[in-house]
Amino acid sequence: MEENNIKLPDGNTENSSDKDSIILKDFSKSLESIINKSTDDFEKQLSFISAGALALSITFMDKLVVNLSQSSCRWLLVTGWALLAFTLILNLISHLISAHLHNKTLKEIQENDDSYYAKAHKRNKRISFVNYISIITLILGLFSIIIFSSLNLYNVKAKSTNNKTTASSK
């Protein structure tokens, strides 16, 4: 078998398969860094969106829906708020679970456990599952609040038009 040696600038030679291995390791580290940053950004954005939507919807209800007891489909609003709060809690739990599972994987690597990769892959599936649940609860919460708001804005507008019509006919 013929070896592919590469002459380095310092005069030494290096086997090209060693160089490929080094490049692959560097690429793997780079990819891991990107994945970690992406995961961190995802968790931050999920928290910002759910907390922001919760705060905005509470403010919206206070300013635009004067009498919440007269609004229709209040269960949509309560469901939306509950789902957004659940999203925030689930995101915090996901972060704690993720840290715990990564520590477990790190310990397995340090103990030279050859099955660490398969175990880590299985653990990452759990974290991904929790993240998908968070996305679903966020979307459902937002839709519930949007539907509630739309229905009640429409009803407020209809009542306003009926009141103006009734007042002008008198």
Task: Provide the pLDDT confidence category of residue 74 given band limits of 50, 70 and 90.
Answer: confident
List pLDDT tens digits, range 118-163: 888 888 888 889 889 999 999 999 999 999 888 887 666 666 666 6
Task: Provide the pLDDT confidence category of residue 13 given band limits of 50, 70 and 90.
Answer: low
Write down the domain spans for the chain: 38-153
Sign of CA dihedral 33, 35, 40, 44: positive
| Mean pLDDT on 75-82 | 93
Least reliable range by pLDDT among 3-17, 87-101, 111-125, 129-143: 3-17
Give the per-residue SS3 of 23-40: HHHHHHHHHHHHHHHHHH
- Check residue 117 and give its pLDDT: 77
